[in-house]
Chain A
Amino acid sequence: MIVAGVVIQTLSGAAGEVARSVDGTSGLEVQGDDGNQRVAALWRAVEGSTLETLSELLVASNERVLGVFPVYVGDIDV
């Protein structure tokens, strides 16, 4: 199981809206946002590849999302 701390970068002013729309989806748990264009979240999945692809889909499907940036990625099974 991979647990990751991530920052979701959004368009200017879209952080709150994006935080509300992604919280609770696909194992993603919002921790807070900066009120402008960054959302902090915890994300869990069985495989790192799942998180990579979910991130890709998040960027592809949401014009307000500019990128997903992990800052800590841990494998709790090691």
Chain B
Amino acid sequence: MSVTRRRFIEVSAAASALAALRGTAEGSASLAADGGESWVKGVCRYCGTGCGVYMGVRDGSVFAVKGDPDNHNAGFLCMKNFLLPQIMSAPDRLKHPLVRRNGELRRATWDEAMELVAKRFGEAIERRGPDAVGFYGSGQALTEETYVANKLFKAGIGTNNVEGNPRLCMASAVGGYVTSYGKDEPMGSYEDIDHADVFLLVGSNTAECHPILFQRIVRRKETHPETKVIVLDPRRTPTARIADLHIGFEPGTDLAILNAMAQVIVAEGMNDPSFVDEHVSFGQGKAADKSWADYEAFLADYTPQAAAEIAGCSAYDIVTAARWFGGRGKASMSMWTMGLNQRTKGVWVNNLVHNLHLITGKIGTPGSTPLSLTGQPNACGGVRDGGGLSHLLPYGRVIANQTHRAQMEKLWGVPAGTIQPKPGLATVDLFRALEAGDLECLYVMCTNPGQSLPSVGRYRKAMESQGSFVVVTEAYHPTRTTELADVVLPAALWAEKEGVYGCTERRYQLLEQAVEPLGEARPDFAILAELGRRLGYGELVPYESTAQVWEEILTVCAGTPYDFTGMSWEALKQSHGLLWPLPEPGHPGTKRRYVRGEDPLVPSDHPKRMKFYGRADDRAVVWLRPQQPPAEVPDAEYPYYLTTGRVIEHWNTGTMTRSCKELRAAVEAMAEIHPGDAHEIGVEAGDRVKIASRRGEETFRVKVTESSRPGLIFVHMHDADRIGNRITIDAVDPGSKQPEYKICAVRMEKA
């Protein structure tokens, strides 16, 4: 390390920070290099915001990252990016395959490992049929990687047991969009933040989980101080620091609050009858066969007073929130994430947010949009859009639809009838099948179910049982999943591979390869193609590069509501992100979907302002969704609510973080409890409590904080040594199949 290089980095860092005081971080981009380094355009590898980065490369290693000033993040990054230069060479990077022999994971060659994987999968398929195997992928994998897995398993092996961890974080958002508008994915974009007058942040700790978007809200409020921020959250998180109104409530009662906001909007005449008349239907259950009068009658039960009584909040606050959101001439934007999605009523509560936009007509205009926030960098692009779940096929197609299956069979060049007509197992059912022995072999890619599944204890036993065969492709070892695996394959990580990420706002971006994979690591698409060849499906997945896969994907999306055929590899390389629909080369992309004059899939002569073309009648649906309790509520035996969440994303770097001794205590999962509860059970900050549910227990140290409501305990989910998911419930939403991580009943006692 020369002084010149050290100085170069210090000057670059300081200059970038000072330049960023002007509002955009452009300083470092113009700095002269000190020699030998290059900058490669990429995408942040963490949350679903999809921030553009440049990766600094020197001597074959990533030595720096800086924000891309030309991307939506305007050069800013969040705290997680402190980790990026060092994650590539972390001590726990896996550099060679491992195979379990005599109970121990031991080094093996690629050939030995792949031979074993192909043998076990092949035997299981031959003996018990294709549904004896399954795939469990990730919203962190590249689009091309999920695509290859989806094609191999559904069109090759012949099973629809293809799942991914987005089932755990955003399936209910998908259910909400699909039921309300007919097709998945938000219609708005981040740019709407710059036009909104009112923000409704519900079930989202935006400040900590989506900091770049939070910063954009802060900037909007800075330049337009009259902007209102409403935060609906049982806890008072750092997001509430900019709130003009924070409504805390009993977990699971937000359906009542959202219905009450709608009741106030209608009662005070803030609804938009002409928009409703032209664009909206009403429904209950699964049928859109209700009327405005039915909706009004339904809302009569949700007066602010009634809702406040259910939710344990102030009726006045509900009225205030409704008046701000529904105010004439004001642009209103809602954002939400796991607080709504990880619920057994997740789809319903998503519907209720959409209802507020639909009855007021605050949708499809600058600053007025419902925008669900995403937790992983490619959950949208790879898994949701790419159809990497057990009931989906690529780009808006579903397994249950014969026409869609026939389309994909033709596009994939397989005989008619190859794709099974019955959806495969959703995540919790997939792991229950492994537990029951009905699923014999599971291929896990780029995710950590040994820590992240709800009620994880039972599924950990299933993964390590003698009868199951689990192969995991991972960049790191050990994780709480690789420690259970029969085979662990070293996967290339982030800057070591190239492919497309698709983030929250339908923005697709190319992550370019900056460095070679470490050790013997290989990109996941290549590992899957190799498995395909060994199983006899080489012609189905003949790919040599992700660019080749992308070329095929462009033919698969053509003519669908997701059409992005104009996004060639070269166009992605030249751009700083492109928003679909983008049906032809040179199209600028679509900031507001379903809107005449903006969305290329809406005819320019369409007689109405919007066309919700996901539904046959072009109308969105306002659903009548009543307040209903979560799957488990406190009782005499388990008198507290437990909720889980992210404080900050530790991802696979938890090992590195914990290796820093002086900070170990700071990253430890603590039980955050209200002072009144602490007094009641006789504990103080730093004491230990045992928290137990009907499924398992864990011991935590106590943090006493006013941010928790009385009766509510919060534990973050990133501590591999204290796994909160031993306690959480694996009950799922009946529509989305997403588990209710956010709410369960527990007891707590001093340990």
Q: Mark B208-242, 1 if CB is under 8 A from A, else 0.
A: 10011011001000100100000000000010011
Q: Which residues of the partner chain A approach B15 to less than 8 Å between Cβ atoms?
A: 5
Contact-size category for A: 35 or more
Asked if residues B222 and A55 are in contact (CB atoms below 8 Å), the reply is no
Indicate whether A4 reaches chain B with its CB closer than 8 angstroms. yes
Asked if residues A49 and B12 are in contact (CB atoms below 8 Å), the reply is no
Q: Taking CB as reference atom, which chain A residue is nearest B655?
A: A49
What separation, in Å, do the CA atoms of A9 and B335 have in the docked complex? 21
CB proximity of A57 to chain B, nearest CB, Å: 6
Q: Identify which of B12, B83, B647, B659 contacts A74 (C-beta below 8 A).
A: B12
CB proximity of A52 to chain B, nearest CB, Å: 5
Indicate whether A32 reaches chain B with its CB closer than 8 angstroms. yes
What separation, in Å, do the CA atoms of A68 and B80 have in the docked complex? 10
Asked if residues A40 and B20 are in contact (CB atoms below 8 Å), the reply is yes
Asked if residues B79 and A76 are in contact (CB atoms below 8 Å), the reply is no
Asked if residues A66 and B85 are in contact (CB atoms below 8 Å), the reply is no
What separation, in Å, do the CA atoms of A56 and B653 have in the docked complex? 15
Say whether, besides A2-B85, A32-B21, A66 and B666 are in contact (CB < 8 Å).
no
Asked if residues B13 and A42 are in contact (CB atoms below 8 Å), the reply is yes
Indicate whether B270 reaches chain A with its CB closer than 8 angstroms. no
Asked if residues B663 and A71 are in contact (CB atoms below 8 Å), the reply is no
Q: Which residues of the partner chain A approach B211 to less than 8 Å between Cβ atoms?
A: 67, 69
Asked if residues B12 and A5 are in contact (CB atoms below 8 Å), the reply is yes
Say whether, besides A47-B660, A67-B207, A73 and B85 are in contact (CB < 8 Å).
yes
What separation, in Å, do the CA atoms of A34 and B222 have in the docked complex? 13
Q: Taking CB as reference atom, which chain B residue is nearest A75?
A: B85
Indicate whether B482 reaches chain A with its CB closer than 8 angstroms. no
What separation, in Å, do the CA atoms of A78 and B648 have in the docked complex? 26
Q: Mark B46-74, 1 if CB is under 8 A from A, else 0.
A: 00000000001011011111110000000
Q: Taking CB as reference atom, which chain A residue is nearest B61?
A: A78
Asked if residues B208 and A52 are in contact (CB atoms below 8 Å), the reply is no
Q: Taking CB as reference atom, which chain A residue is nearest B654?
A: A49
Q: Which residues of the partner chain B approach A69 to less than 8 Å between Cβ atoms?
A: 20, 76-79, 211-212, 215
Asked if residues B14 and A49 are in contact (CB atoms below 8 Å), the reply is no
Q: Which residues of the partner chain B approach A59 to less than 8 Å between Cβ atoms?
A: 207-208, 238
Indicate whether B25 reaches chain A with its CB closer than 8 angstroms. yes
Asked if residues B238 and A66 are in contact (CB atoms below 8 Å), the reply is yes
Say whether, besides A5-B16, A7-B21, A11-B241, A71 and B75 are in contact (CB < 8 Å).
yes
Q: Taking CB as reference atom, which chain B residue is nearest A57?
A: B666
CB proximity of A5 to chain B, nearest CB, Å: 3
Residues facing B in A58-74 (CB within 8 A) are: 59-60, 63, 66-74
Indicate whether B146 reaches chain A with its CB closer than 8 angstroms. no
CB proximity of B67 to chain A, nearest CB, Å: 5
Q: Taking CB as reference atom, which chain B residue is nearest A58?
A: B79
Asked if residues A49 and B647 are in contact (CB atoms below 8 Å), the reply is no
Residues facing B in A1-59 (CB within 8 A) are: 2-7, 9, 11-12, 31-34, 36-38, 40-42, 47-57, 59
Q: Which residues of the partner chain A approach B241 to less than 8 Å between Cβ atoms?
A: 11, 63, 66
What separation, in Å, do the CA atoms of A49 and B647 have in the docked complex? 14
Q: Taking CB as reference atom, which chain A residue is nearest B10?
A: A3
Q: Which residues of the partner chain B approach A66 to less than 8 Å between Cβ atoms?
A: 207, 214-215, 218, 238, 241-242
Q: Which residues of the partner chain B approach A53 to less than 8 Å between Cβ atoms?
A: 657, 660, 663, 666-667
Indicate whether B636 reaches chain A with its CB closer than 8 angstroms. no
Q: Which residues of the partner chain B approach A76 to less than 8 Å between Cβ atoms?
A: 1, 5-6, 9, 63
Q: Which residues of the partner chain A approach B84 to less than 8 Å between Cβ atoms?
A: 48, 73
CB proximity of A45 to chain B, nearest CB, Å: 8
Q: Taking CB as reference atom, which chain B residue is nearest A30?
A: B17
Say whether, besides A5-B28, A67-B78, A74 and B64 are in contact (CB < 8 Å).
yes
What separation, in Å, do the CA atoms of A51 and B213 have in the docked complex? 21
Asked if residues B59 and A52 are in contact (CB atoms below 8 Å), the reply is no
What separation, in Å, do the CA atoms of A48 and B77 have in the docked complex? 14
Q: Taking CB as reference atom, which chain B residue is nearest A34?
A: B21
Q: Which residues of the partner chain B approach A52 to less than 8 Å between Cβ atoms?
A: 79-80, 82-83, 648, 657
Q: Identify which of A50, A56, A68, A73 contacts B66 (C-beta below 8 A).
A: A73
Indicate whether B400 reaches chain A with its CB closer than 8 angstroms. no
Q: Identify which of B16, B21, B647 contacts A56 (C-beta below 8 A).
A: B647
CB proximity of B545 to chain A, nearest CB, Å: 27
Q: Taking CB as reference atom, which chain B residue is nearest A78?
A: B63
Asked if residues A72 and B79 are in contact (CB atoms below 8 Å), the reply is no
What separation, in Å, do the CA atoms of A62 and B648 have in the docked complex? 17
CB proximity of B481 to chain A, nearest CB, Å: 21
Asked if residues A4 and B82 are in contact (CB atoms below 8 Å), the reply is yes
CB proximity of A71 to chain B, nearest CB, Å: 4
Asked if residues A5 and B14 are in contact (CB atoms below 8 Å), the reply is yes
Q: Identify which of B22, B82, B214 contacts A51 (C-beta below 8 A).
A: B82
Q: Which residues of the partner chain B approach A36 to less than 8 Å between Cβ atoms?
A: 222
What separation, in Å, do the CA atoms of A72 and B84 have in the docked complex? 11
CB proximity of B651 to chain A, nearest CB, Å: 11
Q: Which of A4, A60, A63 is the most central at the interface, judged by chain B CB atoms within 10 Å of its CB? A: A4
Indicate whether B656 reaches chain A with its CB closer than 8 angstroms. yes
What separation, in Å, do the CA atoms of A22 and B66 have in the docked complex? 23
What separation, in Å, do the CA atoms of A71 and B6 have in the docked complex? 17
Q: Which residues of the partner chain B approach A73 to less than 8 Å between Cβ atoms?
A: 13, 64-66, 77, 81-82, 84-85
Say whether, besides A49-B653, A63-B241, A69-B215, A55 and B17 are in contact (CB < 8 Å).
no
The 4 closest A-B pairs by CB, nearest first: A5-B13, A5-B17, A78-B63, A74-B9
Residues of A with Cβ closer than 8 Å to B? 2-7, 9, 11-12, 31-34, 36-38, 40-42, 47-57, 59-60, 63, 66-78
Can you identify 30 A-B contacts, CB atoms within 8 angstroms? A5-B18, A9-B215, A31-B17, A37-B218, A38-B20, A41-B17, A42-B10, A48-B83, A48-B86, A49-B83, A49-B656, A50-B663, A51-B79, A52-B79, A52-B80, A56-B648, A66-B215, A67-B79, A67-B214, A69-B78, A69-B79, A70-B78, A70-B79, A71-B19, A71-B25, A71-B67, A72-B17, A73-B64, A74-B56, A77-B1
Given A52-B83, A66-B215, A69-B211, 4 new contacts (CB under 8 A): A7-B21, A52-B82, A71-B16, A71-B67
